[in-house]
């Protein structure tokens, strides 16, 4: 049976039990040795003390058995507080009451209570100690008369010990909690690091594999192309070979996109006019079959940014490709527009691709930048993951707004070039 997790109460109980036995053994053993050569009368006077020690040892055996069961920790803690105060009272009663050299046992009981049960333990032990001490010195209970200032001083000292023990115990508890929280943080972080390490390893293997697929794929496509050109090939075979070539082309696209994603080159930045770069990209896109028949509009303000032009072209291309697809499957496939804009802001430059396409559901928005997240048949789900990676590498951010059935807007912010401000 696992002991309940409660500020390590079980562990503390075990330690304090050991501590109590050791202390009683040392105190009383010491007393026995010192009184070895004393008269028989003096030794007889010590019998009650030894009886008390025997009681403590017996109680300890009971406590140890209950601790082993592990189910009575909280009541045991209170029982120990009572036991400590009782032992202190017994020893004090036998060794001169308010004159006893063992008065410090009350303070120990209070500190033990604080260690075990924090504020409540120290408070309970403090109250019990004051009450027991006053009881031991009460005239009504057969004690000789005592100076009341002395009684008050001792009582106040026990109370002060209780306050101090409470303070220290609570300090200790909150420090322990903070430490536990920090340990949790650290172990989460370590798990995170291990996970991303594994992913990185996996990524390297996959990238190597993808790279190796390319060459045989190219040979296969080339061979099929040659075969298809042969006059001996019939119409049916020609069609089948066409399918092979088309699928090989798709596989090659996938590998290309995957490598762009998995083997990102560090951006090679240079000051570049975004308006020129984007309008060139748009011109190429206009002539791509993907954009055939679509309305493409642009508002490009000259703005120079410190970027890798190839990588930014890729960002723009991926966003335009998605926008084109969204318009085709959207509510206005015939006349939905795609708008490409760019401009400068106080803190850098921005590029925006807006479409009047299908828009996105909450689920789509959530998975958007995850690699391999796609809702398209034949999609790779790598376009936006690559966009995100490139924008990140440039120290920029990307924002998405989308309304289902109305369209989407992707806005990329790039930080101002170093030294441009």
Ligand X SMILES: Nc1ncnc2c1ncn2[C@@H]1O[C@H](COP(=O)(O)OP(=O)(O)O)[C@@H](O)[C@H]1O
What is the nearest approach in angstroms of ligand X to the Cβ of residue 222? Answer: 27
- CA–CA distance from 241 to each of 165, 214, 226 (Å)? 87, 19, 10
# residues contacting ligand X (CB under 6 A): 22
Q: In whole angstroms, give the CA distance from residue 60 to residue 18.
A: 9
What is the nearest approach in angstroms of ligand X to the Cβ of residue 306? Answer: 26
Closest residue by beta carbon to ligand X: 383
State which residue, 179 or 406, has the beta carbon closest to ligand X.
406
Site of tokens 């999609």: 379
Residues 313-332 that bind ligand X (CB under 6 A): 318, 322-323, 326
* Residues found near Mg ion in the complex (CB under 5 A): 322, 383
- CA–CA distance from 199 to each of 31, 192, 212, 265, 387 (Å)? 68, 11, 20, 18, 19
364 binds, among Mg ion, ligand X, none (CB under 5 to 8 A by kind): ligand X
Q: Which residues contact 100 (CB under 8 A, 6 or more apart)?
A: 91, 92
Q: In whole angstroms, give the CA distance from residue 78 to residue 35.
A: 34
Residues 347-406 that bind ligand X (CB under 6 A): 355, 357-358, 360, 364, 368, 373-376, 379-385
The three-class DSSP label of residue 337 is strand
State which residue, 255 or 382, has the beta carbon closest to ligand X.
382
What is the nearest approach in angstroms of ligand X to the Cβ of residue 381? Answer: 4
What is the nearest approach in angstroms of ligand X to the Cβ of residue 73? Answer: 55
What is the nearest approach in angstroms of Mg ion to the Cβ of residue 213? Answer: 21
State which residue, 309 or 357, has the beta carbon closest to ligand X.
357
256 binds ligand X (CB under 6 A): no
Residue 296 is given by DSSP the state: E
49 binds, among Mg ion, ligand X, none (CB under 5 to 8 A by kind): none
Q: In whole angstroms, give the CA distance from residue 414 to residue 410.
A: 13
Four-CA torsion 72, 75, 77, 78, nearest 10 degrees: -170
What is the nearest approach in angstroms of ligand X to the Cβ of residue 3? Answer: 51
Q: In whole angstroms, give the CA distance from residue 115 to residue 19.
A: 13
Site of tokens 């039990």: 17
Q: In whole angstroms, give the CA distance from residue 357 to residue 261.
A: 26
* Residue ranges in contact with ligand X by CB under 6 A: 318, 322-323, 326, 355, 357-358, 360, 364, 368, 373-376, 379-385, 408
């Amino acid at each position: 049976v696992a002991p309940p997790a409660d500020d390590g109460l079980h562990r503390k109980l075990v330690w304090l039990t050991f501590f109590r036995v050791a202390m009683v053994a040392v105190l009383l053993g010491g007393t026995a040795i010192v009184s070895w050569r004393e008269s028989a009368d003096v030794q007889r006077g010590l019998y009650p003390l030894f009886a008390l020690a025997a009681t403590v040892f017996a109680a300890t055996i009971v406590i140890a058995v209950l601790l082993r069961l592990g189910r009575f920790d909280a009541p045991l803690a209170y029982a120990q507080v009572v036991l400590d105060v009782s032992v202190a009272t017994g020893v004090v009663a036998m060794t001169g009451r308010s004159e006893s050299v063992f008065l410090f046992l009350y303070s120990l009981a209070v500190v033990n209570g604080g260690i075990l049960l924090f504020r409540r333990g120290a408070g309970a032990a403090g109250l019990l100690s004051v009450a027991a001490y006053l009881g031991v010195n009460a005239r009504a209970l057969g004690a000789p008369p005592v100076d009341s200032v002395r009684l008050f001083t001792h009582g106040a000292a026990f109370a002060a010990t209780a306050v101090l023990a409470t303070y220290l115990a609570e300090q200790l508890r909150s420090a322990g909690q903070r430490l536990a929280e920090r340990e949790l943080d650290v172990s989460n972080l370590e798990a995170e690091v291990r996970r991303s390490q594994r992913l990185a390893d996996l990524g390297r293997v996959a990238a190597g594999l993808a790279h190796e697929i390319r060459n045989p794929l190219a040979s296969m496509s080339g061979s099929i192309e040659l075969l298809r050109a042969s006059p001996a090939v019939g119409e049916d075979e020609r069609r089948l070979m066409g399918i092979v070539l088309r699928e090989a082309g798709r596989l090659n696209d996938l590998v290309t996109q995957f490598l762009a994603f998995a083997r990102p080159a560090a951006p090679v930045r240079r000051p570049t006019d975004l308006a020129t770069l984007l309008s060139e990209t748009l011109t190429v896109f206009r002539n791509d079959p993907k954009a055939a028949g679509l309305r493409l509009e642009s508002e490009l303000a000259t703005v120079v940014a410190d970027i890798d032009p190839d990588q930014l072209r890729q960002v723009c291309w991926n966003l335009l490709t998605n926008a084109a697809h969204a318009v085709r499957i959207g509510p206005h496939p015939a006349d939905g527009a795609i708008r490409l804009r760019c401009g400068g802001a106080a803190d850098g430059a921005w590029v925006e691709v807006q479409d009047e396409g299908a828009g996105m559901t909450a689920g789509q928005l959530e998975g958007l930048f995850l690699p391999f997240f796609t809702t398209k048949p034949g999609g790779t789900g790598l376009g936006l993951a690559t966009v995100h990676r490139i924008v990140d590498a440039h120290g920029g951010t990307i924002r998405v707004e989308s309304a289902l059935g109305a369209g989407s807007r992707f806005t990329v912010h790039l930080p101002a070039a170093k030294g441009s401000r």
